[in-house]
Amino acid sequence: MNHYVLVLNCGSSSLKFSVVNPDNGDEPFKGIAERLNTNETGSLTIKTANSKQQTDLTPSTHEQALLEIVQALKNQGLAESISAVGHRVVHGGEYFSQSVVIDDSVRDKIADCIRLAPLHNPAHVTGIDAARKAFPNLTQVAVFDTAFHQQMPEKAYLYALPYELYQRHGIRRYGFHGTSFRYISAQLPQCLGIEKPKAVVCHLGNGGSLAAIDGDHSLDTTMGLTPLEGLVHGTRSGDIDPAIPTLLCQQNGMTPDSVSDLLWKQSGLLGLSGISNDCRTLEEALEQGNEAAQRAMHVYCYRLAKLIAAQVVALGGLDALVFTGGIGENSSYVRSQAVKALGFLGLHIDASKNDATIRGKQENIASAESLPIWVIPTNEEWLIAHDAHQLAQGKTL
């Protein structure tokens, strides 16, 4: 009998789920519950190899979604094959440097990190509580976005604020996308033929971040206390002058909540273009000569190139540049525009390889005279499933 892991990614109004074979990454069952904990009717979409079903969800809660998922797993004959539940958790603070089996103490520490991630961790706690009720006999494992970055040196994670804010409240840079970065770091030795390569990895999606990876850990990364810092994102601002929020409150009559909404939901590619937060839409508009799309994409690619160069400083050298994530894996335009500015680092793209490397392809898109430039599709769900299965079997990671 196959053994599977149920992987859960809980948001405040959604619950993404997939049943993953930890040996080969197969996903025979996956889907999403949406509009949870809202005034709207919730929906549950389940995809299998042969079907896609969508049903209303009443009440529209995480608990009800998991009850429906359990029943659907039984109907598909998969329920008895689930060996563990793996939870993606955005913020583990300084508590966790690797994935862990969830007990009451771990659950409480994740809840304590709500002060660091008020937009994400409340939903994770809700999902963990619901999953522990729905699957009382299964091992539950938390896999943290922040864990991969816990070996960053102090000079990389401290803000230039009064030191007591770090000591008393944990105000520091934590970094995110750690599950993706860890997956990529495990692929690099085979791709490069180097045991512990130094690589700048660009995880580019609606939220994007870069990491300076030295072997199996990061020395620096572009996101900070929250996923707002760093690169231009789909709807998030990325790096800005920290005086801007105060100015907006004092001179534009905005409230802290409205400024937060502006920075998280109305900025980035969407704010710059006024068109969309989706890179694909903006590239189509760019081809038609749309100046607003051009403005947004030029800012994005310039900022990306600048951050790539900055991450090389942390490494003190470079064996490879890597692109992953939805944009990184599929936008030949973004890759070419960013690398065009990095010739001084010995990075040059082969245009034909670049254009051909989309839709899940893995390839070194560098020209003959360049350092390696790899496109490597990430697989966060598989890594979560792997960790959950290993820990459920009592093995070490």
Identical fold for domains 4-144 and 194-380, yes or no, is yes
Q: Extract the tokens encoding 163.
A: 């030191």
Query: For residue 209, what pLDDT is reported?
Result: 98
Q: Is domain 194-380 classified as CATH 1.10.1370.30? A: no
Question: Angle CA(233)–CA(234)–CA(235) in degrees, nearest 5?
Answer: 95
CA distance 220 to 201: 11
Share of the chain above pLDDT 90, in %: 96
Could you tell me the pLDDT band of residue 1, with boundaries at 50, 70 and 90? low
Q: Extract the tokens encoding 171.
A: 């105000």
* Domain boundaries defined on the chain: 4-144, 194-380
Q: Taking 80 as the threshold, does the pLDDT of residue 93 lie above it? A: yes
Per-residue pLDDT of 228-237, as tens digits, reads 999 999 999 9
Burial annotation 272-289 (CB, 10 A radius, 16+ → b, else e): bbebbbbbeebbebbeee
Active site residue 23: no
What is the pLDDT of the chain when averaged over all its residues?
Answer: 96
Residue 268, sorted as left (phi over 0), alpha (psi -120 to 50) or beta, turns out to be left
Q: Is domain 4-144 classified as CATH 3.40.50.720? A: no
CB proximity list for 272: less than 8 A, separation 6 or greater: 232, 292, 295, 296, 299, 300
Could you tell me the pLDDT band of residue 313, with boundaries at 50, 70 and 90? very high
CA distance 134 to 129: 9
Q: Taking 70 as the threshold, does the pLDDT of residue 39 lie above it? A: yes
Q: Given 145, 214, 220, 319, which residue is catalytic?
A: 145
